[in-house]
Structure 1
Amino acid sequence: MRNAILPLLFLAFAGCAKGPVATTTELVAQDSLCTSPDGWHAVVQRDPKFVVFGELHGTREAPAFFGSLACSLATDGEVILIAIEFSPYHDDALQEAWNSDEEDFENLLLQAGWRGRRDGVGSEAMFELVRDLHRLRMAGHAIDITAFNGAGSEDQREKFAHLPGQGPHEAAQAENVANAAEKRSYDRVLVLVGNLHAQKQPIDFGRGAFDPMAMRLGAYGSVLSLNVKYDAGTSWSCQLRADFDPKTDGSPTDADIECGPHPAGATGFFDRKAFIEVVDQTPDSAGTSFDGFFWLGPITASPPKAPTEDEIMR
């Protein structure tokens, strides 16, 4: 089947790109275009309902890796759901964009949580990921999308209010993904989220241990969760300015937050292109936070797609 759709795929993923900015697939490992990474077969052997990719926000490479895999599965005929870490309050706008034609899509997508964001979640690379997968959907491939980040209603907020620490947010994330997954018979649900939420063991920041999203998601179906590993580079994030001193400056304000490319130290060293490694299931691995990792290589910061006017002027 792959050979029959390759001309269409090149048109959908590359031919429609505008200007010099690289598309999602062009940013994936040098010789990849709409391919599953090495090691994906180990995920398929586990046959999870949900595959969670715990990323570092604000890189070009993580959305590119995720997008290439999603493209490969969809063009192989799988029915897939993409879950992105945007507020469920933006999901209606996201669905409107997803169901629009190519001419209206980008403007509608900007209204679905991108406009005005300064952090790495609303990055150019994330925007390109969704745009490119929408082009595949318009070409007839079975790709759906959902926004799941946190409570989407007061009822949902109250439902999980009894949980300690960050538990209510994590539980709402998991329920939102699970609810979206029930709307159709999906071959696979792919979740792209910050790697804190992707953990499968309780976390305690001192306000009571809570179950992260991926751990909660296990109540709705089998979960395989992968942590990101990368070589040194940069990521786009919002951090307190280096000279901020709470003793003299008090509580931080927006003016004390600096958004931009920040150094990111290496979390792994592999002299090879992007790949997945799944850890063997043993008694010793039962208490680990992840089922494996995905390797990106060196990372580079991806700036916001549609920052505020103040951010543009900085």
Structure 2
Amino acid sequence: MIAALLAASLHAAAFDTPAECHPVPGAEALWRDDVRYVFVGETHGTTEAPAAFSDLVCAALEQGPVTVSVEYPVQMQPTLDAFMAADSDTAARAALAAYEYGPFVHHDGRGSGAMLDLLLRLRGMAKAGEDVTLVASVPDSPRIEGFRQSYAEMDRAVLWGRQAMARPKARVMVLMSRVHAEKVRRVGSPLGLPAAAHIRPEETLSLTLAHQGGEAWMCLDECGNAPIPASDDPTVRGILLAPQQAGKFDGLLALGPVTASAPVKP
């Protein structure tokens, strides 16, 4: 009996305690029964956006199950499964590091320290018994010569739909680049209809990260910290549900001036 209790204690100690969740002002407006999908369009490479997204997932879990869809290639799904199932955070990091491709090798903002922290928090939530799953949402969709619509955008929406059908009681929450989270047609753009625009609009809420200044780590002419324009009200904080950018988004996620999060290798 003592040996069994000791084994259980050692097993529990192998998992880090999930980080404390912080309330995001205005988040309660997102959890409507008619909303199946919550999209957060970010600028990759900030510290604040992944952290706030994990806090939103934490709040959503109080309402019911959550499927978290991240902007990683679908080929990475077995790696994400191994990451979530690993016996310790050390083993989970090793599973990510063993993947030969993807954001933690060919770096962009999706392979940042903040994104790794987000994944570790999601893992901690799952290990603590929360009903949360982690799935990849970037399809392997080549651009087809002669087609004006980007079928990769349509295929993203198909993946989200399949993820929703796989867990019909779960809310699907997606963190991605803001362009894919737009809900109206991009006139004159090869993107055509962004991914979020392929889902019934009444079933979705799409937020854009407010531009309130600061920096993000990104690759432009060179890779490194780059300034973020301050084009939104700098005093707003939290979630403001009001149409943005001529209907492209349903609201703002305002976190104040952001700081850059550099790439890491797990």
Shorter chain as denominator, the TM-score bin is 0.7 to 0.9
Q: What is the CA–CA distance in structure 1 between the aligned matches of 2:180 and 2:86, rounded to whole Å? A: 31
Consecutive unaligned residues of structure 1, counting only runs of 5 or more, are 1-10, 15-32, 152-156, 241-257, 308-314
Letter in 1 for 2:37: F
Aligned equivalent of 2:197: 215
Q: What is the CA–CA distance in structure 2 between the aligned matches of 1:163 and 1:149, rounded to whole Å? A: 22
Percentage identity across paired residues of the two chains:
29
CA RMSD of aligned residues (A): 2.7
1:173 equivalent among 156, 172, 181: 156
- Counterpart secondary structure, 2:83: helix
1:124 equivalent among 113, 116, 121: 113
Aligned equivalent of 1:304: 263
With normalisation by structure 2, the TM-score equals 0.84
1:48 equivalent among 1, 24, 35: 35
- Counterpart secondary structure, 1:117: coil
Letter in 1 for 2:87: D
Question: 2:40, 2:209 within 8 Å by CA — same for their partners in 1?
Answer: yes
Aligned equivalent of 1:115: 104
With normalisation by structure 1, the TM-score equals 0.72
Aligned equivalent of 1:97: 83
Say if 1:205 and 1:99 are closer, same or farther in 2 by CA, change over 3 A: farther
Q: Does 1:12 align with 2:17?
A: yes
- Counterpart secondary structure, 1:106: helix
1:279 equivalent among 242, 249, 261: 242
Q: Does 1:262 align with 2:226?
A: yes
Q: What is the CA–CA distance in structure 2 between the aligned matches of 1:189 and 1:162, rounded to whole Å? A: 32
Consecutive unaligned residues of structure 2, counting only runs of 5 or more, are 1-15
Question: 1:37, 1:275 within 8 Å by CA — same for their partners in 2?
Answer: yes
Aligned equivalent of 2:252: 293
Deviation digits for residues 217-243 of structure 1 (CA, Å, limit 9, x no counterpart) = 338x81111111032111011112xxx
Q: What is the CA–CA distance in structure 2 between the aligned matches of 1:235 and 1:225, rounded to whole Å? A: 21
Equivalent residue runs for 1:244-263 within 5 Å: 258-263=222-227
- Counterpart secondary structure, 1:232: coil
Q: What is the CA–CA distance in structure 1 between the aligned matches of 2:159 and 2:124, rounded to whole Å? A: 25
Shift of 1:205: 4.5
Shift of 1:47: 3.4
Shift of 1:185: 2.9
- Counterpart secondary structure, 2:24: coil
Q: Does 1:61 align with 2:71?
A: no
Shift of 1:71: 1.7
Q: What is the CA–CA distance in structure 1 between the aligned matches of 2:37 and 2:79, rounded to whole Å? A: 24
- Counterpart secondary structure, 1:231: coil
2:170 equivalent among 184, 187, 202: 187
Say if 1:210 and 1:93 are closer, same or farther in 2 by CA, change over 3 A: same
Shift of 1:164: 3.7
Letter in 1 for 2:248: S
Q: What is the CA–CA distance in structure 2 between the aligned matches of 1:111 and 1:87, rounded to whole Å? A: 15
Aligned equivalent of 1:236: 217
Question: 1:233, 1:265 within 8 Å by CA — same for their partners in 2?
Answer: yes
Aligned equivalent of 1:7: none
Deviation digits for residues 138-166 of structure 1 (CA, Å, limit 9, x no counterpart) = 11111101111133xxxxx48x9599445
- Counterpart secondary structure, 1:51: strand
Shift of 1:95: 1.4
Letter in 1 for 2:116: F
Q: Point out 4+ residue stretches in structure 1 off by more than 4 angstroms.
A: 160-163
Q: What is the CA–CA distance in structure 2 between the aligned matches of 1:81 and 1:303, rounded to whole Å? A: 26
Letter in 2 for 1:140: G
